[in-house]
C-alpha cells in the first residue's frame, strides 16, 4: 500500500519550503496551525505557529547549505559548524535538530515525499505499528474514535511536557475535529488486518484478544518497543529469549498495561533528552519564549474546564 498524501498543500507551504535547501527527502507540516483542533477558530489557526519536520539523507550537507542560506535561524551552535551540528542532532535525544520561532513568510500534511522505496515502506510500517500497539492497549470492542485517540496519544505517553507545558486535552482536541483525516490514513490498514473485524459503517471494531492473537501482535511490534517490554518483564540476570518473554506477556491479563509502560519509558527518556538538547539547538531566549507560550496555553485550557465538587 502507499501512504495517503494530502495534495492541497497551497502556496503558503511551498513558499516556506523555498526558504530552505531543496535536498529534502520528506517534509510534512503538523499541529494546530495545520489541522483544526477542537475549540479553536479558523482565525486562531491562522495565528498559530506552523510546525514542520524535514527528513534529509545527508544532515551534514543539508546543514552546510542551510547555514549559508539561513544562518540567523541557528543558535550559537552555528559557530561549531555543520559536522558538530549534525552530530548533536543524530547522537542525542530523538535524533532531531529542533528549532522554534523561525521567521519566514507570514500547517500532519505531506509536502515533499521522494520516490525512495525504503522511506515509503518505513512510513507504512510506522502506521501499522501504531495500530498494533493501540490494539494491544484497547479492550476487545471499541470505536473508531477510541482507536484514533489511542494512536494520537502514543507519542505523548510518558512525555513529561504533558504535566508541565501542554494542554492535557490536547489529544482529544486533535482527534475530535480530524476524524476524517484519521480514517483516510488508517482505513486500508484496518480493512487488511486479519486480527480485527472493522465495521466501518458503524465505526466500530473488534480485535482478537486471545493469548495467541496478542502474541502475534506483540511479535510485530518495533524491536525497540519489544526490548523495552522485555526490560520491564524479565528479571535481571535471566536473559530469556525475547519471544519467550512476549509469549508470557501475551497471556498476562495486564498485557495492555505492560505495552503502555514500554511505550511510556521510551517516550519519557527521549522527551527529556530532546528537551534539554533543544535549549542548545534553539537557543536559550527562544526556548524561554516558546515555553512561556506553551505554559500560558495550558493555563488557559485549565481555566476553560469547569470545577466539579464532589461531596
| DSSP state, residue 55 | E
The DSSP element (H or E) to which 75 belongs, if any, is none
**211-256 per-position pLDDT tens digit:** 999 999 999 999 999 999 999 998 777 778 999 999 999 999 999 9
| DSSP state, residue 22 | S
Note the residue count of the chain. Answer: 311
Tally DSSP H helices, then E strands, for the chain.
13, 6
pLDDT, position 30: 77
Mean pLDDT of the chain: 80
In sequence order, what DSSP letters do the residues of 250-286 get, joined into one string?
Answer: HT-TTHHHHHHHHHHHHHHHHHHHHHHHHHHHH-HHH
How far is the C-alpha of 219 from the C-alpha of 31, rounded, in Å? 32
pLDDT, position 311: 37
Tell me the whole-structure pTM to 2 decimals: 0.69
The angle that helices 284-304 and 255-282 make with each other, rounded to 10 degrees, is: 140
pLDDT, position 119: 83
Weakest mean pLDDT among 14-23, 31-40, 227-236, 237-246:
31-40
The domains of the chain are located at: 8-114, 117-275
Reduced DSSP (H G I as helix, E B as strand, rest coil) percent helix, strand, coil of the chain, to 5: 60, 10, 35
How far, CA to CA in Å, does 185 sit from each of 128, 181, 276?
Answer: 11, 6, 32
What does the pLDDT average to over 121-140? 95
pLDDT at 308 over 50: no
What does the pLDDT average to over 113-130? 85
- Residue 56: which of 21, 88, 87, 31 has the closest Cα? 21
How far is the C-alpha of 102 from the C-alpha of 130, rounded, in Å? 31
Weakest mean pLDDT among 108-117, 126-135, 174-183, 260-269:
108-117
Weakest mean pLDDT among 10-14, 21-25, 284-288:
284-288
**74-89 per-position pLDDT tens digit:** 888 889 999 999 998 8
- Residue 135: which of 43, 233, 260 has the closest Cα? 260
Amino acid at each position: 500500500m502507499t501512504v495517503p498524501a494530502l495534495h492541497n498543500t497551497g502556496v503558503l507551504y511551498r513558499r516556506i519550503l523555498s526558504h530552505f535547501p531543496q535536498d529534502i527527502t520528506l517534509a510534512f507540516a503538523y499541529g494546530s496551525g495545520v489541522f483544526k483542533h477542537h475549540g479553536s477558530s479558523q482565525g486562531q489557526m491562522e495565528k498559530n505557529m506552523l510546525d514542520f519536520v524535514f527528513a534529509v539523507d545527508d544532515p551534514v550537507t543539508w546543514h552546510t547549505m542551510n547555514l549559508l542560506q539561513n544562518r540567523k535561524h541557528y543558535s550559537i551552535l552555528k559557530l561549531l559548524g555543520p559536522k558538530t551540528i549534525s552530530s548533536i542532532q543524530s547522537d542525542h535525544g530523538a535524533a532531531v535538530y529542533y528549532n522554534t520561532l523561525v521567521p519566514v513568510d507570514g500547517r500532519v500534511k505531506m509536502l515533499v515525499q521522494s520516490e525512495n522505496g525504503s522511506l515509503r515502506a518505513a512510513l507504512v510500517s510506522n502506521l501499522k505499528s501504531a495500530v498494533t500497539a493501540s490494539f494491544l492497549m484497547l479492550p476487545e470492542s471499541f470505536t473508531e474514535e477510541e482507536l484514533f485517540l489511542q494512536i494520537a496519544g502514543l507519542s505523548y505517553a510518558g512525555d513529561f511536557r504533558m504535566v508541565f507545558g501542554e494542554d492535557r486535552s490536547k489529544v482529544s482536541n486533535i482527534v475530535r475535529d480530524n476524524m476524517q483525516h484519521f480514517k483516510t490514513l488508517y482505513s486500508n490498514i484496518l480493512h487488511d488486518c486479519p486480527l480485527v473485524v472493522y465495521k466501518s459503517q458503524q465505526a466500530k471494531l473488534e480485535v482478537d484478544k486471545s493469548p495467541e492473537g496478542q502474541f502475534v501482535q506483540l511479535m510485530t511490534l518495533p524491536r525497540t518497543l519489544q526490548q523495552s517490554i522485555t526490560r520491564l518483564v524479565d528479571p535481571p540476570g535471566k536473559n530469556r529469549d525475547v519471544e519467550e518473554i512476549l509469549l508470557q506477556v501475551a497471556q498476562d491479563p495486564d498485557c495492555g498495561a505492560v505495552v503502555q509502560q514500554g511505550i511510556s519509558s521510551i517516550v519519557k527518556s527521549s522527551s527529556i533528552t530532546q528537551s534539554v538538547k533543544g535549549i542548545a539547538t534553539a537557543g536559550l531566549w527562544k526556548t524561554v519564549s516558546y515555553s512561556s507560550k506553551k505554559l500560558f496555553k495550558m493555563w488557559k485550557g485549565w481555566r476553560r474546564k469547569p470545577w466539579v465538587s464532589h461531596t
